[in-house]
Structure 1
Amino acid sequence: MSDRDPLQSIWQNQSQEEFSMSLADIHTRAERFQSRIRVRNWGEYAAAAFVVAFFGWMAVTVPEPIVQIGAVLIVLGALYVCWKLHQLGRAASGDELNAGAQSWAAFHRAELTRQSDALRTVWRWYLAPFVPGMLVFLAGVSFTPANPAPLAARLTVFLVGLALTSAMFAVIAWLNAQAVKRLDAEIAALDQAGAD
């Protein structure tokens, strides 16, 4: 009787297919990737425009100064995120795409790496800028002197708002971590194609 698992033997003895990625495949992937980045970024800019409009309106119309300060901080956070998104996560320009034609594999790998690095640090530049504004805004809404609710109810509103915001941030961070894994897998596939 053998100590080896028969399924393990089958798995270890299976033939491996050669992995190859042609220059045309890399070119197509690079252009498709840049298109996805552009669509993602325009979606982010549209969401930021909504945040700026909504919280800007609140900063002007809500009579509570602490709520106004929180709303202004959220607007500033959204504008900072847009700037950082453009700086770190923008799609390649037409000139960069044309320059990439010289070496599509190197260009595509560099772009994948750049996007992966941007998503890897999303806590720092995408989520953290909203924290001060959200805290001040939630505190202003919860503990405003005009709120007749007992302190326990106000504290509950603050803590529930904080929990919901934290959960939303955690989901965003998790989604970005998953995207980093996919980008790293694509980088590894490109490296393997280049080694073959």
Structure 2
Amino acid sequence: MTPQEFARHSWQDSAPAPTLPSLDTLRARSDAFRRKIVRRNWIEYAAGIFVIVMFTAMALLIPVTALRVGAAMVVAGTLVLLWQLHRRASPLTSAEHGGALSLLEYERRELIRQRDALDSVFTWYLLPLLPGMLVVMATPWLSMPVAEWQLPPVGVAMRIGAALAVFGAVYLVNKLAARRLQERIAEIDMLRA
């Protein structure tokens, strides 16, 4: 086979270029993704309000100083978390009258925004809660006189370990979700090429 025949044969056998989805498909996909983000955020806001109410009550009603401080730290961390959720992960306003390319660009930007929020979840979602949760869980240990401090009691160590495991799971789930969003971004980039 000559080089020209090989090139012609390779060109004819190559996969067809991906086709741009219809405008209706892009709108439907974009709207579904936006609804998913809004629903997720409202669930997070509701959970945050619940945490704020419960830990505020704990800070006001329980007479143990370490627990009160830890609960106040959790409330402060939750407020930071909710503010960051709104700032980083609220959906963008969609292009109202754009064509297929502007919708595709909107979807790509939204995917990038959400991917970045999920990818950095440790710094803005988990880290603000961590100090307060550790203080709350270590309250039995912290309530002892300093002279009696030894290794944390088994119950405290287990609670801290369980909380860290949950935090680790949240981190991993968000990293996996960010990876899936990156795959969708790559698909859009192939369409745009």
Distance in 2 (CA, whole Å) between partners of 1:128 and 1:136 is 13
1:109-156 deviations in whole A, cap 9, x for unaligned? 01100110111100000000011101211221344249xxx9779521
Is 1:192 aligned with 2:190?
yes
- Within 5 A, what are the aligned runs for 1:53-68? 53-68=53-68
SS at match of 1:176: helix
**Unmatched tracts of structure 1, length 5 or more:** 1-13
1:166 aligned residue: 164
Q: Which residue of 1 aligns with 2:139?
A: 140
Cα contact 2:112–2:185 (8 A) shared by 1? yes
Deviations 1:147-169 (A, max 9, x none): xxx97795212211110011001
C-alpha distance in 1, partners of 2:62/2:70?
A: 11
Letter in 2 for 1:168: V
Kindly provide the amino acid, as one letter, of the partner of residue 181 in structure 2.
L
Q: Please, what TM-score do these two structures have when normalized by structure 2? A: 0.83
Partner letter of residue 182 of structure 2?
A: D
Structure 1 distance, partners of 2:97, 2:31, is 10
1:44 maps to 44
The letter for the 1-side match of 2:118 is L
Consecutive unaligned residues in structure 2, runs of 5 or more: 1-12
* Paired letter, 1:159: A
- Per-residue deviation, 1:30: 1.0
Provide the aligned C-alpha RMSD in A. 2.2
The aligned residue for residue 84 of structure 2 is 84
Matched, 1:69 2:69: yes
- The alpha carbon displacement at 1:29 in A equals 1.1
